Chains A and B, each alone.
Chain A
Amino acid sequence: MLKTIGLRSVDDLFAPIPSEYRLNRDLNISRQMAESEIVDFFRQRSRENGDGYTSFLGAGAYLHYRPVIIDSLISRGEFLTAYTPYQAEISQGTLQSIFEFQSMICELTGMEVANASMYDGSTAGAEAVMMAVRLTGRKSVVVARSLHPEYREVLATYATHQGMPLSTVGFGGDGRVSLKELETAITPDTACVLIQSPNFFGTIEDVEAIAGIAHQHGAMLVVSIAEAVSLGIIEPPRAADIIAMEAQSFGVPLGFGGPYCGVIATREKNVRQMPGRLVGQTVDKQGKRGFVLTLATREQHIRREKATSNICTNQALVALMVNIFMTVYGKVGLKELAKQNLAKTAYAASQFAKHGKLLFNSAPRFNEFVVETSEDPYAINGRLLGHKIVGGLPLKKFYPELGNAALWCCTEMTTRSAIDTAAGLVAESERSVRSAKEEVEEMAR
């Protein structure tokens, strides 16, 4: 090949690079490894990574069963190793599957249009808010404190240089957005209110009431959904103007936090301000149905600095997992799946309530609940680890005012025996704290 090109050595190819910058040594990284060594390396890392534990963690990342055909199908090289479907003639597989994905997301969310995906739920939330700012011509944003704390952090990062003042609205005793606070938080400059439902505590927000207040002031309502399985049994937030979703629950592995699958869905009239790729149906020159990427004039490769967002690569293969999951469970399965989540959680909540204190108990919930214990939940979780159980997420880090509260999650994967073991350990903790207290009181007497 060098001879064909007319060069003598490979080094000649790199002649354009000034010699003082060329690296004349090996990179200081580990030597080339055999496939078997690579597999061993990652198996070892897997053993150091919670393999074999039962977990009660949710909080924006949920363990649901993944039907095996998801990986069989996404492993097909034609899906796995294809690029963004810009050349429609040889990308109809990807394009049609995205069209189906958009359609099913619309069915489930009650919205009219959905995009092909965003990076994740947190960035989808931030982008949805920016979309509302463009649509309303207003600048400021009211954010619920019951929105995932890390989603709030991401929004704060995105908002910093957009001149978008953020204010927060707290939650009441039922864990839901305080409507009274909301009334006073909204101003004539409020572009949108951003909430999550089911919210970070697992409680279902009164979306209609919140929408009523937002709309009355000419603001939009953006609803974030972090637990997609809830859509099987919980009424979708139909009163929302924009829905920003995290679809990880639909067949995407937990994977230590990513890659996941964000989605934005909205009303048809808002579509030209929606970020991200969109697939549309059309016909070819023979009149045959086909699919193409469309409305690209919103996007960075056409509009550059005037684009709706800088997003380019999205989460196509993950969206395909979500798509297959939705297809497998379908109209009936999604409902039954959601019902099992509801039943397991109701059982667990009732078991924990016998000894610990359930917070936010007066509002309906989906598959998460908050338990307040007398003892520091980190200490209880430490003991649970000994039983190969990962306990609920201590909330102190995000909500100092909630003290010893922890957020627990049950899905269809959680067994009754794990619930009983965990609830038993919490009961034990309560008993020992109580008897220690009684001892102190006795001594004081």
Chain B
Amino acid sequence: MKHMTRKATRHVNQNEGLIFEKSSAGKAAWKLPPLDVPEVDTAQLLGSAERKDLGNMPEVSEIEIIRHFTRMSTWNYAIDLGMYPLGSCTMKYNPRVNEAVARVEGIANGHPYQPEKISQGALRIIKTLSECLIEITGMDAITLQPAAGAHGEMTGLLMVRAYHESKGNARKKILIPDSAHGTNPATAAMVGYSVENLKSDSRGMVDIAALEAQMNEDVAALMLTNPNTLGVFEQQIHKIADILHAKGGLLYMDGANMNALVGKVRPGDFGVDVMHLNLHKTFSTPHGGGGPGSGPVAIQKELEPFLPKPVVVGKSDGTLGFDYDRPQSVGRVRAFYGNFGMFVRALAYIQANGPDGLRQTTEDAVLNANYIRKGLEGVYDLPYATPTMHEVVFSDKVQAKKGARTMDIAKRLIDYGFHPYTTAFPLIVPGALMIEPTESESVEEMDLFIEAMKSIAQEVEEDPQTVLDAPHSTRVSRLDETAAARKPILRWKPQS
């Protein structure tokens, strides 16, 4: 490497094959206690339903398993290793106390069907978290049942639909800005709505004139991310809400970017009717390599009858219980009550912060994004000069002239010891570099990031090939995705 980075140095990591390649008969990592009931004749009990062979399942020892997964883990980048500036993903620190309390015996091992009398602890956690999230969003009611953000979107739109149906007309379409996440239109389709795109204006906000022109009695709702995916707060939010409400439509807010608002402003106060939260973004539950998430949906009073069932309620004897008797409910979106383990972690995060901590978290997240914007302005093209909230979007316009696109710069960033930012999204910015530092980063870490990004920009000028061939420091580089998709190999098979 020409430009050495202060952030990272290369170190040896272990090679490791697939677990099947380590397997041999007789190795084992398990031991069952002796059976305290009579043995059974499986053939007699099961007849033709008995399974004789488990195919190519592995046989390995415990130390091999520990090494296998530990070695593989070292091939991953993680928040625990450094800044993870994926825009719109809110990769913040995942506090370890969250993990500890989620593993307390009665919380980890509660059965979803155990009697309510001995479920008061879990019900209290659900109730307390619900109350906190209602206060944070400024809404009237909430369901914690959805398993992730997209699932929350679906639940929210089901309620929107049920609301309109109760008024006699389900309506036909959902308006979605061109800067939206892909889940928004996919969700609208699942709930039986057609999608109409809404363009952004020159400042990256909803084009009010376009909205006025497109809004009519066929529109069930507008799905709006606020701040939007450019990190821009929709300053005309009240006008947007008014335009929708005047024609009987609802304002749905995608809460993916709630990390810019908590404790500073509440969607319920600026006209939002339905919104989902991502506990794995704003409320610090771990992303875990792609889940589990949790996508609570908060709503205004008019939508309350349509909440998925069951709903946790206080009973006359002072205990908590589930209410299943909800005739107007949209139904169930998931078995049991949602990703309860994530509720525990989110509540622990809220408790560890309190009102002042949550506010400061938001302030720090916005401050950090603006610090990065300042540090890279002039080095990378800033397509929208509108003030930045929690994330900032640059473009590769300058670097593209030398042939280096956003993905190349991202790959080169890996050599500098950072996870890439979000590439090529939002779609309205060609060659986007979407950067969200979150409140977790210190000024020292951000200075290293800015230095790395500047250094890459310089490399693009002087030696673009180094950037185009990046990463140079990883176990594998520029994997052939086309071949992977053309002739998919989706499982291991023994060599015949």
Contact check, B238 vs A83: say whether CB atoms are below 8 A apart.
Answer: no
**Smallest CB gap from A97: residue in B:** B72
Contact check, A102 vs B491: say whether CB atoms are below 8 A apart.
Answer: yes
Complex interface: chain B residues within 8 A of A150 (CB): 332, 335-336
Complex interface: chain B residues within 8 A of A75 (CB): 99
Contact check, A99 vs B29: say whether CB atoms are below 8 A apart.
Answer: no
Contact check, A254 vs B108: say whether CB atoms are below 8 A apart.
Answer: yes
Contact check, B355 vs A27: say whether CB atoms are below 8 A apart.
Answer: yes
The answer to the question of B153 belonging to the interface, with a C-beta cut-off of 8 Å to chain A, is yes
The answer to the question of A432 belonging to the interface, with a C-beta cut-off of 8 Å to chain B, is no
Contact check, B331 vs A153: say whether CB atoms are below 8 A apart.
Answer: yes
**Could you tell me the distance between the alpha carbons of A141 and B74 in the complex, rounded to whole angstroms?**
46
Contact check, B60 vs A330: say whether CB atoms are below 8 A apart.
Answer: yes
A1-B443, A271-B488 known; A310+B335 contact, CB < 8 A: no
Contact with A along B356-393 (1 / 0, CB 8 A): 11110001001100110111000000000011010000
Q: How many A residues touch B, CB cutoff 8 Å?
A: 188
Contact of A107 among B57, B65, B73, B232 (CB under 8 A): B57
The answer to the question of B433 belonging to the interface, with a C-beta cut-off of 8 Å to chain A, is no
Contact check, A294 vs B488: say whether CB atoms are below 8 A apart.
Answer: yes
The answer to the question of A444 belonging to the interface, with a C-beta cut-off of 8 Å to chain B, is no
Contact check, A16 vs B36: say whether CB atoms are below 8 A apart.
Answer: no
Contact check, B410 vs A330: say whether CB atoms are below 8 A apart.
Answer: no
The answer to the question of B91 belonging to the interface, with a C-beta cut-off of 8 Å to chain A, is yes
The answer to the question of A412 belonging to the interface, with a C-beta cut-off of 8 Å to chain B, is yes
Contact of A91 among B77, B79, B101, B355 (CB under 8 A): B77
Contact check, B135 vs A256: say whether CB atoms are below 8 A apart.
Answer: no
Complex interface: chain A residues within 8 A of B435 (CB): none
The answer to the question of B420 belonging to the interface, with a C-beta cut-off of 8 Å to chain A, is yes
Complex interface: chain B residues within 8 A of A329 (CB): 29-30
Contact of B288 among A38, A254, A320 (CB under 8 A): A320
**Could you tell me the distance between the alpha carbons of A279 and B414 in the complex, rounded to whole angstroms?**
21
Complex interface: chain A residues within 8 A of B371 (CB): 1, 4-5
Complex interface: chain B residues within 8 A of A280 (CB): 484-485, 488-490
Contact check, B334 vs A119: say whether CB atoms are below 8 A apart.
Answer: yes
The answer to the question of B208 belonging to the interface, with a C-beta cut-off of 8 Å to chain A, is no
Contact of A326 among B57, B308, B350, B366 (CB under 8 A): B57
A280-B489, A312-B183, A327-B58 known; A96+B104 contact, CB < 8 A: no
Contact of B480 among A42, A84, A96, A282 (CB under 8 A): A282
Contact check, B119 vs A108: say whether CB atoms are below 8 A apart.
Answer: no
A92-B76, A107-B56, A256-B336 known; A69+B62 contact, CB < 8 A: yes
Binding-face segment, A166-174, A180-188, A212-220, A227-235: A227-235
Binding-face segment, B296-304, B337-345, B459-467: B337-345
Contact of A82 among B46, B76, B336 (CB under 8 A): B76
Contact check, A277 vs B111: say whether CB atoms are below 8 A apart.
Answer: no
Contact check, A90 vs B474: say whether CB atoms are below 8 A apart.
Answer: yes
Contact check, A78 vs B479: say whether CB atoms are below 8 A apart.
Answer: no
A27-B135, A294-B485 known; A288+B334 contact, CB < 8 A: no
**Could you tell me the distance between the alpha carbons of A60 and B336 in the complex, rounded to whole angstroms?**
9
A89-B474, A256-B110, A335-B54 known; A94+B290 contact, CB < 8 A: yes
The answer to the question of A426 belonging to the interface, with a C-beta cut-off of 8 Å to chain B, is no
**Could you tell me the distance between the alpha carbons of A324 and B73 in the complex, rounded to whole angstroms?**
13
Contact check, B74 vs A309: say whether CB atoms are below 8 A apart.
Answer: no
Kindly provide the distance from the CB of B125 to the nearest chain A CB, expressed in whole angstroms: 6
**Could you tell me the distance between the alpha carbons of A419 and B45 in the complex, rounded to whole angstroms?**
20
Kindly provide the distance from the CB of B173 to the nearest chain A CB, expressed in whole angstroms: 11
Contact check, A82 vs B106: say whether CB atoms are below 8 A apart.
Answer: no
Contact check, A80 vs B135: say whether CB atoms are below 8 A apart.
Answer: no
Contact with A along B31-59 (1 / 0, CB 8 A): 01101111110100111111100111111
**Could you tell me the distance between the alpha carbons of A306 and B48 in the complex, rounded to whole angstroms?**
43
Contact check, A416 vs B110: say whether CB atoms are below 8 A apart.
Answer: no
Chain A residues 56 to 81 lying within 8 A of chain B, measured CB to CB, are 57, 59-61, 63, 67, 69, 71-81
Contact check, B151 vs A256: say whether CB atoms are below 8 A apart.
Answer: no
Complex interface: chain B residues within 8 A of A340 (CB): 32, 35
Complex interface: chain A residues within 8 A of B30 (CB): 67, 328-330, 333, 336-337
Chain A residues 39 to 61 lying within 8 A of chain B, measured CB to CB, are 39, 41-53, 55, 57, 59-61
Contact with B along A95-130 (1 / 0, CB 8 A): 011111011101110101110110111110000000
Contact check, A55 vs B114: say whether CB atoms are below 8 A apart.
Answer: yes
Contact check, B28 vs A32: say whether CB atoms are below 8 A apart.
Answer: no
**Smallest CB gap from B480: residue in A:** A282
Kindly provide the distance from the CB of B386 to the nearest chain A CB, expressed in whole angstroms: 8
Contact with B along A276-302 (1 / 0, CB 8 A): 011111111110101110111101111
Complex interface: chain A residues within 8 A of B397 (CB): none
Complex interface: chain B residues within 8 A of A89 (CB): 411, 414, 471, 474-479
Kindly provide the distance from the CB of B453 to the nearest chain A CB, expressed in whole angstroms: 16
Binding-face segment, A132-140, A155-163, A434-442: A155-163
The answer to the question of A15 belonging to the interface, with a C-beta cut-off of 8 Å to chain B, is yes
Kindly provide the distance from the CB of A55 to the nearest chain B CB, expressed in whole angstroms: 5
Contact of B150 among A100, A231, A288, A310 (CB under 8 A): A310
Contact check, A42 vs B57: say whether CB atoms are below 8 A apart.
Answer: no
Kindly provide the distance from the CB of B102 to the nearest chain A CB, expressed in whole angstroms: 8
Chain B residues 297 to 326 lying within 8 A of chain A, measured CB to CB, are 308
Chain B residues 280 to 298 lying within 8 A of chain A, measured CB to CB, are 280, 286-294
The answer to the question of B213 belonging to the interface, with a C-beta cut-off of 8 Å to chain A, is no
Complex interface: chain A residues within 8 A of B331 (CB): 153-154, 156-157, 160
Contact check, A17 vs B233: say whether CB atoms are below 8 A apart.
Answer: yes
Kindly provide the distance from the CB of A221 to the nearest chain B CB, expressed in whole angstroms: 16
**Smallest CB gap from A34: residue in B:** B352
Contact check, B113 vs A87: say whether CB atoms are below 8 A apart.
Answer: no
Contact check, A294 vs B107: say whether CB atoms are below 8 A apart.
Answer: no
Contact with B along A367-401 (1 / 0, CB 8 A): 00000000000000100010000100100000000
The answer to the question of A165 belonging to the interface, with a C-beta cut-off of 8 Å to chain B, is no
Complex interface: chain B residues within 8 A of A234 (CB): 46, 49-51
Chain A residues 296 to 332 lying within 8 A of chain B, measured CB to CB, are 296-297, 299-307, 309-318, 320, 324, 326-332
Kindly provide the distance from the CB of A371 to the nearest chain B CB, expressed in whole angstroms: 16
Q: Sorted from nearest, which 10 A-B pairs have the closest CB atoms?
A: A317-B288, A257-B336, A32-B354, A77-B80, A51-B106, A49-B121, A46-B106, A161-B192, A257-B112, A45-B121
Query: A82-B79, A157-B308, A294-B484 are known contacts; what are 8 more A-B pairs with Cβ within 8 Å?
Result: A16-B235, A74-B288, A79-B69, A104-B57, A119-B292, A235-B51, A285-B480, A312-B148
- Offer 7 A-B interface pairs, CB within 8 angstroms, sorted by A: A45-B121, A61-B113, A90-B414, A150-B336, A257-B338, A296-B485, A385-B118
